[in-house]
Structure 1
Amino acid sequence: MGSFKKSALLALGIALGSLQGIAQAATFVDVLDLPAKPSALATRSPLRDVAQAGERLVAVGQRGHILYSDDAGKSWQQAGVPVSSDLNSVHFPTAKQGWAVGNDGVVLHSSDGGASWVKQLDGRQIGELGLAHYQALASAEPANETWAQFVAEGERLVAEGADKPLLDVWFADDKRGYLVGVFNLILRTEDGGRSWVPMQDRTDNPQSLHLNAIAAVGDELYLAGEQGLLLKWDAGQQRFAALPSPYQGTWFGVVGKPGEVFAYGLRGHVFRSTDGGQSWSQVDTGLPVSITAGALDAGGDIWLFSLAGHALRGRDDGAGVVLVPQQSLAPVAGAAPAGSAGLVLVGERGVRALPVE
């Protein structure tokens, strides 16, 4: 094709693209301001987490979808949600009070067991919040170079806008909780989300690795992240202190019960600790695929699930896991107990039940 014709076609394409961009700009609404649309297919659309809210189950997923079930997952209703951002995690410390977090730094709160939600925070505010917090610390201690580093990080977050995902949420009760996300993003509230305090300076994470999960096992609170990052809250130091990590790949989560903790991650890697994470022994899963979810069933047994949908149940002797046969497999991103009905699993193909004998 001649250069003149190519130039003409390129110019035409640019002009048409500009016109299309103008038209789109005129109708653009940020997903943080666009309520989630009701969908009859929501139970079969990608879901990323599910949690108990008393007797109720609440699941969250793409495009701001939040579903709740009052019959152990047999039927679901879609909640009213003020955003269309993808949601990654949900947690209810009580039957009524719950929080969900997701992309664009969005934080949602429910006071009615997940039937309706309000936005408490989003990525447009998180950067400014962090910047103001560390500027105040830098002003109080000008000789402390640590604060200058966090101020620079806050300035970067403000400049880049609302594009940083929050990946997990955990609350001890209806007042005290944490949010975690990419690049060591972590915030704490002591008043139910009315205010948030950045805690990037309270983690042993000098490389600002992603914080993929936060979970409590008994009275101990763990963080799991990329490149082998495992941390645990140290009340004496008032920070998340590093644990010896038995694997240098990505961790996707921690699950367990008092006296027994499992960390799970890439390529089927699972390790077990009986001393609060100070030492670990590898658990043979027999799987080469990533372990992406964990849960306790109503009887207190530990379950792990793979990206491909495999289900692994903790053995009675506590030392390993066994593969549980299933009629069909589907990816699992989250799991929660559903009483006598077993477990409810969510993933890329929506929601399904797993009976537990």
Structure 2
Amino acid sequence: MSIFKWTLLAVLAAAVVAPFCRPVVAQEFVDVLDTPSQVSPLAEHSLLVGLASAGQRLVAVGQRGHILYSDDAGKHWQQARVPVSSDLVAVHFPSARHGWAVGHDGVVLHSADGGETWERQFDGRQVGPRMLEHYQALVQKAPGDERLMALVDEARRMTDEGADKPFLDVWFENEQVGYIVGAFNLLFRTEDGGRTWTPWMEHADNPSALNLYAIRPAGGELYIAGEQGLLLKLDRASGRFEPRPTAYAGSFFGILGKPGVALVFGLRGNVFRSVDGGESWSQVETGLPLSITAGTQLADGRLALLSQAGHLLISSDDGASFQLQAQPSLAPVAAAVGAGPGALALVGTRGARQLLVQ
């Protein structure tokens, strides 16, 4: 998940709404967390930001709580029933049936039927109070721990501010153990399929509370990528996400990998690669000055990266180099998934579409 995905929703929403603004009579406020997403025949052509495979099915999420699913590699889509109309930015399925989607207003949704119906498990109204309960209990056990006391203060602030903190990515190891990450170092973990979420901010070496944009495994390790060059790797022995610096201080938007290889990508075409479990990183030249906003693996094992404008880069050597591919038209891409031999499913400002790859 990237800041591109986060800000794209706000920027495009403002551009669409502004020309039609006019004085209106005040109406009763309706919280998007209590308003089901509206079914629309145009949903598959609206702004979609997250995309995942659920077995052979594809599931996409986006603006106004839209969730769609496709059983034919993205050629046709059906709209799911969703209990909120908050903007959604990321989705992940560890199995064909169970999946999670996250987004603005701290919302966390769960599906147990491959993405056809969804229930709310967690939202921003619970984030602050849950953090406060958790960190106050930890401070009682370690009253001199300044970091825990600072997290108590942060939890109070979030409680006072309400449900405005977005989650920006979600990843599940299996149907029980998973993580959500978001703005200002938000990090939660579950061990019971999302029925309860435990704050995990103290497990991340992120003293400046930088935004966390993506959490994904790559090359056998679990990483978190964020702003200002933040890259963390989970040390499973200590249970901590520890820094793995690269030579770049700009934001990383995503993580991609295959056995023995990890890639992180972000602003201004920057891509870094590791083949030693994240201990060292080398820059991969892309030839693009544009931000890389999506990445996936093709059915034949090649790696694909896509830019914010829709440029497609393909690697046939496990990410050591990438070649720009010619395309008939370009459109901004927020997420991509391999959709069978020679095909990619893409989502972005033009909704969902399929791209054939040579």
| TMscore range, shorter length | over 0.9
Distance (Å, rounded) in 1 between the aligned partners of 2:317 and 2:272: 17
Q: What displacement does 1:341 show?
A: 5.5
Q: Deviations over 1:29-56 (max 9, x none)?
A: 1000000001111111000011000010
TM-score by length of 1: 0.92
Work out whether residues 341 and 356 of structure 1, in 8 Å CA contact, stay in contact via their aligned partners in 2.
yes
Partners in 1 of 2:138 and 2:318 — Cα distance? 50
TM-score, length of structure 2 as denominator length: 0.92
Aligned length: 337
For residues 127-138 of structure 1, what are the structure 2 equivalents within 5 Å? Answer: 127-138=128-139
CA distance in 2, matches of 1:315, 1:278: 23
1:303 and 2:304 matched: yes
Corresponding residue for 1:348? Answer: 349
> Structure 2 counterpart of 1:20, which letter?
V
| Cα distance in 2, alignment partners of residues 86 and 182 from structure 1 | 15
Structure number with bigger Rg: 1
**Aligned partners of 2:48 and 2:334 also within 8 Å:** yes
Partner of 1:13: none
Q: CA RMSD in A?
A: 1.4
Q: Which residue of 1 aligns with 2:67?
A: 66
- Residue of structure 2 in register with 1:14 after alignment: none
Which residue identity is paired with 2:305?
A: L
Distance in structure 2 (CA, Å) of the matches to 1:324 and 1:102: 32
Which blocks of at least 5 consecutive residues in structure 1 are unaligned? 1-16
Unaligned runs of 5+ in 2: 1-22
- Provide Cα deviations, 1:35-79, integer angstroms capped at 9, x if missing partner: 000111111100001100001000000000000000111100000
- Structure 2 counterparts to residues 286-301 of structure 1, below 5 A: 286-301=287-302
- CA distance in structure 2 between the aligned counterparts of 1:98 and 1:322, rounded to whole angstroms: 33
Q: 1:272 to 1:218 in 2, by over 3 A?
A: closer
Name the SS of the counterpart of 2:25 in structure 1: helix
Q: Which residue of 1 aligns with 2:202?
A: 201
Letter in 2 for 1:74: K
Deviates more, 1:299-308 or 1:92-101: 299-308
- Contact residue 220 and residue 260 of structure 2 kept, 8 A: no
What's the offset of the Cα at 1:340?
Answer: 2.6
Asked whether the equivalents of residues 46 and 351 of structure 2 are also in contact (C-alpha less than 8 Å), the reply is yes
> 1:126, 1:317 → 2: CA distance?
39
What CA distance in whole angstroms lies between the structure 2 residues aligned with 1:77 and 1:262?
33
Retained in 2: the 8 A contact 1:167–1:212? yes
- Whether contact under 8 Å (1:183, 1:211) holds in the other structure is yes
2 CA distance for matches of 1:72 and 1:308?
Answer: 23
CA shift, 1:190, in A, is 0.2
Q: What is the distance in 1 between the residues matched to 2:342 and 2:146?
A: 55
The answer for the alignment partner of 2:14 in structure 1 is: none
Per the TM alignment, residue 20 of structure 1 is displaced from its structure 2 partner at its CA by 3.0
Match of 1:330, as an amino acid? A
Q: How does 1:1-357 map to 2 (within 5 A)?
A: 20-21=25-26, 24-25=27-28, 28-316=29-317, 318-340=319-341, 342-357=343-358
Q: What percent of counterpart residues are identical? A: 60
Contact 1:284 1:321 in 2 (8 A): yes
Q: Mean alpha-carbon deviation: is it higher for 338-347 or for 183-192?
A: 338-347
Which letter maps to 1:93? P
2:88 touches 2:104 (CA, 8 Å); kept in 1?
yes
User: CA–CA distance in 1 between the matches of 2:342 and 2:98?
Assistant: 24
SS at match of 1:328: coil
3-state secondary structure, aligned to 1:154: helix
